[in-house]
Amino acid sequence: MSLQKDLQTKIKEGLGEASKKLTIPDPVDWIENEFLIPETRHDPKLRGRFILLPHQRDLIREIFSKDEDGLYKYSIIVWSDIKKSWKSSIAAAVMLYRCEFAEYGEFYVVANDLKQADSRVAHYIRRAIDLNPKLKAKYSVRGYRITSPNGSYIEAVPIDPSGEAGGNADSVCFSELWGANEDAKQHMWSEMTIPPSKHGKAWRWVESYAGFIEESKLLYSLYEQGVKNGRKLWPGRMYPTTDGPESEIEVYVNDTPRMLCYWGTVPRCPDQKKTYYSAESSVLLPNEFDRMHRNQWVSNTDTFIPMEWWYACQRKSEDWPVIDQKHHNFIVSMDAATTNDCFGIVLACRHPIFTEEIVVFYSNKWAPDPFTHKIDYEGTDEQPGPIKVVERFVKEYNVVQICYDPFQLHDLSMRMKKKGLAWMKEFDQQAKRAKADSQLRDLIRDRRIWHRGDVDLTAHLQNANAKIDDQDSKIRLVKRVEHLKIDLAVSLSMNCHELLRLNL
């Protein structure tokens, strides 16, 4: 082949490649026409199309913008918005768009565990492929990997920094990064950094709402980089909201790490109406509402209950139900430390008529001896200790279970088992306690607890804060201040849980 013909061939090939690039559609146009969703599937006008909001269109086009060298202007995208603002769907649509028009690209969806990684962004990608016959005909979906005929693939992976070290990703989407509070998750972020060969061609994309200041360290560091140390993009540009007047969107750019950070704090999606937030505010802790529905950073502890809720549960003597204590089912619950802490006992049952409500018959605490720092479990006839009180309950009431904290009360429970008092039931103080504590708060809020205003039980509830679990948003009773006691509150929590679980 002559030099001239060789040159002409290369020019044609170059023009062919250029024409290919020119045929790549605008990302917003492609997403709105090809990334289908079930929510609009039966709308005759939309027919499954995913119609973005004005600020989302502008953000996506800005994210895809390039500098004078033809490289993406941003390497880190933080798309943080309030709950149910389509964060995961948008991340999925953008990733599928990139996979559609890349050759041999590597795209990963990362979350705190494999189930979460596969059930959010990756799930929406598979769903969009399934709903679109054109995409379904050419994509292969096997296990956690989605493969395109152009050699590119999308894969859902869990946090595993050693397994993913040395990757060559074109895009990595970190889902719900607010839960990344362990060393492995921090290392995973580092391992999935953009390689030099992909500089300006690849992203790390974060989709999440805000977390807890004390625990969500990785996301908070990105928030500081993007929002606190960034410059505001598009000041004065206004967009619609669903609960008020138009407002600016909170989008920031930090040029040094090549970061764009969108931090939405107001509702803008059609379904985010005032009635929805009114209902949510009635069932969520205030800081959980602010975190999920206003995208605000919060502490993971808050007052367990407004005490007005508890006072509203106190019933007058004349309203107290008549209960056959020899035949109605009761549970005794115990919580304590072995030394230098108080011991709490609660006796309770279900209401005989309103069976989903709990009646607190008795609560009492015992303080340790100031000299020995121990509790006299037996006590005397004049001042009975916990064991004598429980023995009396077993004689006078139909006690079907005694539940207790196994870590603190193992020896005492063994002594009670030998006496054959009742069914001794260990109560797990981890996941089960979190479920019970969350349930107790709901019971008090809904006035489904009956009590007579016991001073010590009231004080222990007042001493309690609610620590929010960073994985499942369950709450756990913790001391507001270390020296304060909450044993009776914990006893009540365990008791209510068992009464409702056993359907007594």
- SS3 string of 182-210? CHHHHHHHHHCCCCHHHCCCCEEEEEECC
Mean pLDDT, all residues of the chain: 86
- Residue 119 and residue 166: Cα distance in Å, rounded? 25
Lowest mean pLDDT among 152-156, 232-236, 472-476: 472-476
**What does CATH list as the number for 21-293?**
3.40.50.300
pLDDT tens, residue by residue, 188-216: 777 778 888 899 999 999 999 998 887 78
Task: Give the closest residue to 332 by CA, choosing from 411, 445, 412, 407.
Answer: 412
pLDDT band, very low/low/confident/very high, at 182 (cuts 50, 70, 90) = low
- Residue 454 and residue 440: Cα distance in Å, rounded? 17
3-state helix, strand, coil in the chain (%, to 5): 40, 20, 40
Q: If you search the block for the tokens 């972020």, which residue do you land on?
A: 189
- Residue 464 and residue 101: Cα distance in Å, rounded? 55
Give the pLDDT of residue 143: 87
Q: What is the percent of the chain where pLDDT is above 70? A: 88
The set of long-range contacts for 124-130, using a CB threshold of 8 Å and a minimum separation of 24, is 124/37, 124/88, 124/89, 124/92, 124/93, 125/92, 125/95, 125/96, 125/154, 127/37, 127/38, 128/34, 128/35, 128/36, 128/37, 128/92, 128/93, 128/96, 129/96
Tokens read off for 244? 């008020």
Give the pLDDT of residue 371: 78
pLDDT tops 90 at residue 70: yes
Question: Is it true that domain 307-501 has CATH number 3.30.420.240?
Answer: yes
Give the pLDDT of residue 97: 98
Task: Give the closest residue to 234 by CA, choosing from 255, 213, 256, 250.
Answer: 250
Average pLDDT for 100-114: 85
Give the residue range(s) of CATH 3.30.420.240 domains in the chain: 307-501
| Residues 6+ positions from 137 with CB-CB distance below 8 Å | none
Give the residue range(s) of CATH 3.40.50.300 domains in the chain: 21-293
Give the pLDDT of residue 461: 94
Tokens read off for 202? 């690849």
pLDDT tops 70 at residue 404: yes
